[in-house]
Chains A and B, each alone.
Chain A
Amino acid sequence: AQSVAQPEDQVNVAEGNPLTVKCTYSVSGNPYLFWYVQYPNRGLQFLLKYITGDNLVKGSYGFEAEFNKSQTSFHLKKPSALVSDSALYFCAVIYYGNNRLAFGKGNQVVVIP
Protein backbone atom coordinates (compact mmCIF):
# COMPACT_ATOMS: atom_id res chain seq x y z
CA ALA A 1 0.00 0.00 0.00
CA GLN A 2 1.14 3.51 -0.69
CA SER A 3 2.33 5.52 2.28
CA VAL A 4 4.80 8.12 3.43
CA ALA A 5 6.54 8.35 6.75
CA GLN A 6 7.71 11.46 8.51
CA PRO A 7 9.78 10.04 11.34
CA GLU A 8 10.12 13.16 13.45
CA ASP A 9 7.36 14.88 15.39
CA GLN A 10 8.92 18.28 15.72
CA VAL A 11 11.91 19.93 14.14
CA ASN A 12 13.55 22.78 15.99
CA VAL A 13 16.07 24.95 14.21
CA ALA A 14 17.68 28.31 14.89
CA GLU A 15 16.91 31.12 12.50
CA GLY A 16 19.49 31.26 9.73
CA ASN A 17 20.43 27.59 10.08
CA PRO A 18 19.65 24.94 7.47
CA LEU A 19 16.27 23.26 7.81
CA THR A 20 15.59 19.63 6.88
CA VAL A 21 12.27 17.84 7.20
CA LYS A 22 12.47 14.13 6.47
CA CYS A 23 10.12 11.99 4.41
CA THR A 24 10.37 8.41 3.19
CA TYR A 25 7.88 6.52 1.06
CA SER A 26 6.96 2.89 0.58
CA VAL A 27 7.72 1.48 -2.85
CA SER A 28 4.83 0.51 -5.06
CA GLY A 29 5.24 1.73 -8.62
CA ASN A 30 6.41 5.21 -9.57
CA PRO A 31 5.56 7.75 -6.89
CA TYR A 32 4.50 11.33 -7.34
CA LEU A 33 5.73 13.13 -4.20
CA PHE A 34 4.60 16.41 -2.70
CA TRP A 35 5.27 18.77 0.16
CA TYR A 36 2.59 20.96 1.66
CA VAL A 37 2.72 23.53 4.45
CA GLN A 38 -0.07 24.45 6.84
CA TYR A 39 0.10 27.69 8.79
CA PRO A 40 -2.09 28.09 11.89
CA ASN A 41 -5.78 28.49 11.04
CA ARG A 42 -5.08 28.33 7.33
CA GLY A 43 -5.48 25.76 4.58
CA LEU A 44 -2.81 23.62 3.01
CA GLN A 45 -0.41 25.37 0.68
CA PHE A 46 1.53 23.56 -2.02
CA LEU A 47 5.32 23.87 -1.77
CA LEU A 48 6.75 21.57 -4.43
CA LYS A 49 6.41 18.23 -6.18
CA TYR A 50 8.44 15.52 -7.86
CA ILE A 51 6.87 13.80 -10.84
CA THR A 52 9.80 12.84 -13.04
CA GLY A 53 13.09 14.26 -14.31
CA ASP A 54 15.64 16.09 -12.18
CA ASN A 55 15.82 14.62 -8.71
CA LEU A 56 16.28 18.06 -7.14
CA VAL A 57 13.12 20.11 -7.25
CA LYS A 58 12.78 23.70 -6.20
CA GLY A 59 9.60 25.13 -4.78
CA SER A 60 8.02 28.09 -3.08
CA TYR A 61 9.59 30.24 -0.35
CA GLY A 62 13.12 28.99 -1.02
CA PHE A 63 12.37 25.34 -0.28
CA GLU A 64 13.75 22.43 -2.26
CA ALA A 65 13.59 18.66 -2.02
CA GLU A 66 15.62 15.80 -3.40
CA PHE A 67 14.09 12.59 -4.67
CA ASN A 68 16.33 9.67 -3.75
CA LYS A 69 15.07 6.44 -5.25
CA SER A 70 17.64 4.17 -3.61
CA GLN A 71 16.77 5.49 -0.16
CA THR A 72 13.08 5.99 -1.00
CA SER A 73 13.29 9.47 0.46
CA PHE A 74 12.08 12.95 -0.42
CA HIS A 75 13.48 15.24 2.26
CA LEU A 76 12.50 18.90 2.30
CA LYS A 77 15.28 21.44 2.76
CA LYS A 78 15.87 25.13 3.09
CA PRO A 79 19.39 26.56 3.35
CA SER A 80 18.52 29.30 5.84
CA ALA A 81 15.38 29.06 7.97
CA LEU A 82 13.20 32.03 8.82
CA VAL A 83 10.97 32.46 11.85
CA SER A 84 8.07 32.73 9.41
CA ASP A 85 8.79 29.15 8.28
CA SER A 86 7.38 27.90 11.58
CA ALA A 87 4.42 25.76 10.53
CA LEU A 88 3.19 22.21 10.00
CA TYR A 89 4.74 20.41 7.03
CA PHE A 90 3.20 17.42 5.28
CA CYS A 91 4.75 15.01 2.84
CA ALA A 92 2.29 13.29 0.50
CA VAL A 93 2.33 10.71 -2.29
CA ILE A 94 0.23 9.70 -5.26
CA TYR A 95 1.09 6.54 -7.10
CA TYR A 96 0.54 6.33 -10.84
CA GLY A 97 -2.86 4.81 -11.50
CA ASN A 98 -4.19 5.85 -8.09
CA ASN A 99 -5.44 9.40 -7.85
CA ARG A 100 -5.64 9.68 -4.09
CA LEU A 101 -3.15 11.60 -2.01
CA ALA A 102 -1.77 9.82 1.05
CA PHE A 103 -0.31 12.14 3.69
CA GLY A 104 2.39 11.65 6.24
CA LYS A 105 1.64 12.49 9.87
CA GLY A 106 3.16 15.94 9.54
CA ASN A 107 6.09 17.66 11.17
CA GLN A 108 5.83 20.75 13.30
CA VAL A 109 8.74 23.03 12.44
CA VAL A 110 9.74 25.60 15.01
CA VAL A 111 12.29 28.21 13.98
CA ILE A 112 13.83 29.86 16.99
CA PRO A 113 14.79 33.53 16.67
Chain B
Amino acid sequence: SAVISQKPSRDICQRGTSLTIQCQVDSQVTMMFWYRQQPGQSLTLIATANQGSEATYESGFVIDKFPISRPNLTFSTLTVSNMSPEDSSIYLCSVLLGNTEAFFGQGTRLTVV
Protein backbone atom coordinates (compact mmCIF):
# COMPACT_ATOMS: atom_id res chain seq x y z
CA SER B 1 0.00 0.00 0.00
CA ALA B 2 0.94 3.66 -0.11
CA VAL B 3 0.24 6.56 2.22
CA ILE B 4 -0.15 9.89 0.49
CA SER B 5 0.02 13.25 2.22
CA GLN B 6 -1.34 16.32 0.49
CA LYS B 7 -0.84 19.91 1.56
CA PRO B 8 -2.72 22.13 2.00
CA SER B 9 -5.94 20.32 2.80
CA ARG B 10 -7.94 23.38 1.87
CA ASP B 11 -7.40 26.99 0.88
CA ILE B 12 -9.33 30.07 -0.12
CA CYS B 13 -7.52 32.12 -2.74
CA GLN B 14 -8.01 35.39 -4.56
CA ARG B 15 -8.60 35.26 -8.29
CA GLY B 16 -5.51 35.90 -10.33
CA THR B 17 -3.17 34.30 -7.80
CA SER B 18 -1.55 30.86 -7.89
CA LEU B 19 -1.56 27.96 -5.45
CA THR B 20 0.92 25.10 -5.27
CA ILE B 21 -0.28 21.78 -3.88
CA GLN B 22 2.21 19.28 -2.56
CA CYS B 23 1.96 15.50 -2.65
CA GLN B 24 4.28 13.29 -0.62
CA VAL B 25 4.24 9.49 -0.84
CA ASP B 26 5.73 7.21 1.79
CA SER B 27 7.43 5.00 -0.81
CA GLN B 28 8.96 5.31 -4.25
CA VAL B 29 6.37 5.07 -7.00
CA THR B 30 6.65 5.35 -10.72
CA MET B 31 3.11 6.31 -11.63
CA MET B 32 1.75 9.47 -10.04
CA PHE B 33 -1.28 11.42 -11.19
CA TRP B 34 -3.22 14.59 -10.49
CA TYR B 35 -7.02 14.66 -10.63
CA ARG B 36 -9.61 17.38 -10.35
CA GLN B 37 -13.06 16.89 -8.86
CA GLN B 38 -15.34 19.82 -9.55
CA PRO B 39 -18.33 20.34 -7.25
CA GLY B 40 -20.85 17.56 -7.64
CA GLN B 41 -18.87 15.87 -10.39
CA SER B 42 -16.58 12.93 -10.93
CA LEU B 43 -12.81 12.84 -11.00
CA THR B 44 -11.08 14.07 -14.13
CA LEU B 45 -7.46 13.28 -14.80
CA ILE B 46 -5.36 16.42 -15.24
CA ALA B 47 -1.98 14.87 -15.96
CA THR B 48 0.52 12.14 -15.27
CA ALA B 49 3.50 13.44 -13.30
CA ASN B 50 6.67 11.98 -14.81
CA GLN B 51 9.87 11.85 -12.83
CA GLY B 52 12.68 13.58 -14.67
CA SER B 53 10.58 14.79 -17.58
CA GLU B 54 7.63 16.98 -18.42
CA ALA B 55 4.20 15.90 -17.23
CA THR B 56 1.78 14.32 -19.69
CA TYR B 57 -1.40 16.38 -19.83
CA GLU B 58 -4.88 15.18 -20.72
CA SER B 59 -7.03 16.91 -23.25
CA GLY B 60 -8.26 20.24 -21.96
CA PHE B 61 -5.38 20.79 -19.53
CA VAL B 62 -2.20 22.73 -20.34
CA ILE B 63 1.12 23.20 -18.67
CA ASP B 64 0.82 26.97 -18.41
CA LYS B 65 -2.31 26.64 -16.29
CA PHE B 66 -1.32 23.55 -14.29
CA PRO B 67 2.47 23.29 -14.09
CA ILE B 68 3.62 20.08 -12.41
CA SER B 69 6.93 19.17 -10.87
CA ARG B 70 8.18 15.66 -10.08
CA PRO B 71 11.73 15.97 -8.73
CA ASN B 72 11.86 12.40 -7.40
CA LEU B 73 9.83 9.22 -7.01
CA THR B 74 8.14 10.27 -3.74
CA PHE B 75 7.12 13.86 -4.34
CA SER B 76 5.17 16.01 -6.77
CA THR B 77 3.59 19.44 -6.88
CA LEU B 78 0.68 20.81 -8.87
CA THR B 79 0.29 24.55 -9.31
CA VAL B 80 -3.03 26.11 -10.23
CA SER B 81 -2.06 29.34 -11.95
CA ASN B 82 -3.90 32.60 -12.47
CA MET B 83 -6.90 31.22 -10.67
CA SER B 84 -10.51 32.03 -11.41
CA PRO B 85 -13.67 30.91 -9.58
CA GLU B 86 -14.05 28.12 -12.14
CA ASP B 87 -10.92 26.53 -10.68
CA SER B 88 -12.72 25.93 -7.39
CA SER B 89 -12.47 22.15 -7.01
CA ILE B 90 -10.95 19.36 -5.03
CA TYR B 91 -7.53 18.43 -6.38
CA LEU B 92 -6.30 14.90 -5.66
CA CYS B 93 -2.94 13.26 -5.95
CA SER B 94 -2.90 9.57 -6.80
CA VAL B 95 -0.34 6.81 -7.22
CA LEU B 96 -0.63 3.50 -9.01
CA LEU B 97 1.14 0.44 -7.68
CA GLY B 98 1.60 -2.67 -9.78
CA ASN B 99 -0.65 -1.18 -12.45
CA THR B 100 -3.73 -2.28 -10.53
CA GLU B 101 -3.77 -0.60 -7.14
CA ALA B 102 -4.53 3.11 -6.99
CA PHE B 103 -4.19 5.16 -3.82
CA PHE B 104 -5.36 8.71 -3.28
CA GLY B 105 -4.45 11.60 -1.08
CA GLN B 106 -7.10 13.27 1.04
CA GLY B 107 -7.42 16.03 -1.52
CA THR B 108 -7.02 19.79 -1.50
CA ARG B 109 -10.27 21.72 -1.43
CA LEU B 110 -9.69 24.97 -3.29
CA THR B 111 -12.09 27.90 -3.27
CA VAL B 112 -11.32 30.86 -5.50
CA VAL B 113 -13.05 34.12 -4.63
Which residues from chain A sit less than 8 Å from chain B, CB to CB?
32, 34, 36, 41-44, 46, 49, 51, 90, 92, 94, 99-106
Contacts and interface: CB of A to CB of B under 8 A. Distances in A.
B45 A101 contact: yes
A52 B23 CA distance: 31
14 contacts: A34-B102, A36-B104, A43-B104, A43-B105, A43-B107, A46-B102, A49-B101, A92-B102, A94-B99, A100-B48, A101-B96, A105-B41, A106-B41, A106-B42
Q: How large is the interface on B (under 10, 10 to 19, 20 to 34, 35 or more residues)?
A: 20 to 34
Among B44, B102, B103, max chain A CB count under 10 A is at B102
B100 A94 contact: yes
Given A32-B100, A51-B100, A100-B33, A90 B106 contact: no
Interface of B: 31, 33, 41-45, 48, 92, 94, 96, 99-107, 109
Contacts of A51: 100
A43 B92 contact: yes
B42 A90 contact: yes
Contacts of A32: 99-100
A41 B90 CA distance: 10
A72 B48 CA distance: 27
Nearest to B31: A99
Contacts of A94: 96, 99-100, 102
A29 to B, nearest CB: 13
A43 B101 CA distance: 15
B21 to A, nearest CB: 14
Given A43-B104, A43-B106, A43-B107, A99 B96 contact: yes
Contacts of A49: 100-101
A103 B41 CA distance: 10
A103 B102 CA distance: 12
